[in-house]
Amino acid sequence: MTKQIYKFDPDQVWFTSDTHFGHENIIRFCGRPFRNAEEMNAELIRRWRETVPDDGIIFHLGDFAHGGSRLWNDMICALTGRKYLVLGNHDIKNLRQGFMNRFELVTQQMTIRVGGQHIVLNHNPFLCYGGSYSDVWQLFGHVHSGPLSHTGLDHPRLKMLFPLQYDVGVDNNNFRPVSFAEVKSKIEAQISMARAAAGIRTDSNACDERKIIFIDKGCLIGAKELESLNKSATDIIDLDIKNPSPIKETIAQHLSLLTGNIRYVYIGSRLLDDFRYVHIGSGTPVTMSDIKMAIKLL
């Protein structure tokens, strides 16, 4: 069965998550600046209506409301836009009968195309998903990240995500929906920061075809050998061999930042199966023979 991809106009799309309308305890759990659920509901509605026009399309990525049919009805009626609901863990037990048809669609997951951008929508962040190395975004909620909320059990895991992923939850976005343009700007900033941290060049001439050499930070390499590598590779990326993350996972994170036709090889002290690499014994200098082998593997 072919997976359906829904297409939308970039100027008409907004995202949000984890409003938790009617949920008194979420104020304390996430440090929300409201005195009670009634004040929270009113302010979330006000900011939503200021942001999303009546003819806008709004994707809510889960945990919409806690309460009975009256609360669900009041919230849905008060909110602008054509609403799509991607179910969160709380929605499964709180979604009231008869309210499924109050949304354009209620689903566990969606893949959409906004302009030319493919986006996977899910309540939870993924550690891997289709297209994560091909400029496909994944938008999520659930984790309640943000300047006031960083105590959730899942929060430490966010550092493992790709720069192509973003938390659209209200706690992370000043308690209002974010437009496609805003999400695009935030993801581009995340990619730029990650590229800079990894030492990846972003000049346009390097984007059509990249030849990447990953090398253990601290490898003993002379000026002549390094010059030869620089002539043959688009990017040389140092990897911290003390980093506890698996080497393949670290390399995968870097590859998610790149576009175009990519070839890569690893030079270092770790033995890798099913991978292009040149093994250098710990504390052993990199020789010109090693360099030639790495260039050949590229």
| pLDDT by 10s per residue, the chain, length 298 | 446 778 999 999 999 999 999 999 999 999 999 999 999 999 999 999 999 999 999 999 999 999 888 899 999 999 999 999 999 998 887 676 678 889 999 999 999 999 999 999 999 999 888 877 778 999 999 999 988 876 667 777 788 888 999 999 999 999 999 999 999 999 999 988 888 877 776 654 445 677 888 888 878 888 888 888 888 888 888 887 665 567 777 787 777 777 667 888 888 887 777 677 788 877 788 888 888 888 888 8
CA dihedral defined by 226, 232, 233, 238, rounded to 10 degrees? Answer: -20
Separation between Cα atoms, residue 107 and residue 164, nearest integer Å: 22
Separation between Cα atoms, residue 32 and residue 17, nearest integer Å: 15
Q: Does 2.10.70.10 match the CATH number of domain 6-198?
A: no
How large is the angle between the packed helices 288-297 and 223-232, nearest 10 degrees? 10
Separation between Cα atoms, residue 49 and residue 69, nearest integer Å: 21
Supply the pTM of this predicted model. 0.76
Instruction: Report which secondary-structure segment, H or E, holds 25.
Output: helix 24-30
Reported residue count of the chain is 298
Conformational region of residue 97, where left means phi above 0, alpha means psi within -120 to 50, and beta covers everything else: beta
Two tokens at 152? 């959730």
Are the C-beta atoms of residues 85 and 63 closer than 8 Å to each other? no
